[in-house]
Amino acid sequence: MGRYIAKRLAVAALTVFIILFVLFMLLNFMPGSPFNNEEKMTPEQIATLKAAYGLDKPVIERFFIYVGNMLRGDFGVSYNIQNNMPIATMVGSRLKVTLGLGLEAGILGAIVGNLLGILAALKRHTPVDTVATVIAVLGVSLPNFVFALLLSYFFGYRLKLFPLTFNPADPIRSSVLPVIALSMFTLASMERYTRSELVSIMDSDYMMLAESKGLPRRKLIMRHALRNALISLITVLAPLLVNLMSGSIVIEKIFSIPGLGTLYITAIQSNDYNVVLATSFIYSVMFVIAMLLVDLAYGLIDPRVRLAGQKG
């Protein structure tokens, strides 16, 4: 297991490096100028500014300077959004907000989705099952912002139960709607997966054996069916995490939550080169870490995965 972990870590580190290189190169071709009124400046002024920000050196050299600085926790400074503000400080608090939002939505979706899935599987072919299936189909198919708009219209605007936009003075109440909207996809896919897993397990031979041995239904479900169903849930984790990430950007924008997503959008719209690079890199790193954890969990549960990894 130790070798497997070490190998996966090395691959992840290499991937992160390649991602950074690709992003850096792509953004180098970004149109427009990083400075606000370039057309009004003299060539000398532009040259001074470029030298001040280190933009006069060749691309490859700039890349390695950037990597070196980044390892020391310095992501450079913002050009347009907040002049000369270090990006590390801009990102710090926002990252916490985004991670919190994603975590809450993930946990809520996982718990409710699992319960719904179990309920649907146990009460197969009843109205409960139908309702759960409809929720699952809608949740998987409809994008997050549809739920966000519906929730904010009915619970925010009509009933005035929750604030329409994020209110820093009341973070708990104002994160209720975004968390629900963001959790819908997780909820739906968990429901789907748990239901189909449970249904196939309930029909399996070993469940029949356990049942014929006279085990009480409670024990049958808790010990034999659920445990096996939950183990294979890991396979749906990867698409869920991806959805939570892309979803959080949209949800943050709709509810004006001061998270990484809103910063990302502002940076793109104001051509703030360094901030775009830093935020996309952070998103990529979160993604790589999430996939790494999913892989390691796989290896932990299914020995075939790590054995195959050792051979190659």
Contact residues toward other proteins (CB under 8 A) are: 15, 18-19, 22-23, 26-27, 29-31, 137-138, 140-143, 145-146, 149, 152-153, 156-157, 164, 196, 242, 245-246, 249-250, 253-254, 264-265, 268-269, 276, 280, 283-284, 287-288, 291
| Residues in contact with 147: Cβ distance below 8 Å, sequence separation at least 6, in sequence order | 180, 181, 184
At 77 the three-state DSSP class reads strand
Single-letter residue type at 14 = L
Among 8, 4, 7, 1, which Cα is nearest to 291's?
8
Q: How many Cα atoms within 13 Å fall on the side-chain side of residue 84? A: 3
By C-beta, is 33 or 284 nearer to other proteins? Answer: 284
CB of 214 to other proteins, least distance (A): 29
By C-beta, is 143 or 171 nearer to other proteins? Answer: 143
Among 132, 177, 166, which Cα is nearest to 259's?
166
CB of 309 to other proteins, least distance (A): 13
Rg over alpha carbons for the chain, rounded to the nearest Å, is 24
Residue with structure tokens 């990252």? 95
Q: Which two tokens stand for residue 113?
A: 């989705």
Give the distance from CA 95 to its chain's centroid. 12
Contact 109, 115 (CB under 8 A): no
By C-beta, is 23 or 305 nearer to other proteins? Answer: 23
Residue with structure tokens 């997503």? 261
By C-beta, is 160 or 213 nearer to other proteins? Answer: 160
CB of 247 to other proteins, least distance (A): 9
CB of 146 to other proteins, least distance (A): 5
Q: Classify residue 38 by its DSSP letter.
A: G
CB of 153 to other proteins, least distance (A): 6
CB of 86 to other proteins, least distance (A): 22
